[in-house]
Structure 1
């Protein structure tokens, strides 16, 4: 390789290094195990409009059943 070719390929080598580093960081980030935080659920999501925990209620009992199994779908605005 001539000196000119080495100078022209230098930016590509830097880009390859940056992409390899980004791929390594992404791989490490996705390979680490994730743990969910415990979420306090009310006894029931249902009730009248003024007393229930969330506006949409308990979805015909489905939300209460899911919460008992550890699945909670919730959103705060």
Structure 2
């Protein structure tokens, strides 16, 4: 396979310019099915814990969060 050096350089520049990819949340509220003239209440509790610090600092992390969404179907 013979690829011209200019094509490789162009591909490398395109990849460097692209930057990081951002991901959407695990669940999103815009897809909640709501019937007309109905209410929906959604609660989500998230808990994360990390205690596997390989360094000698023995760091720990515990995070908890509660998200509430109230929607009305029009």
Q: TM-score, structure 1 length as denominator?
A: 0.29
More helix by share: 1
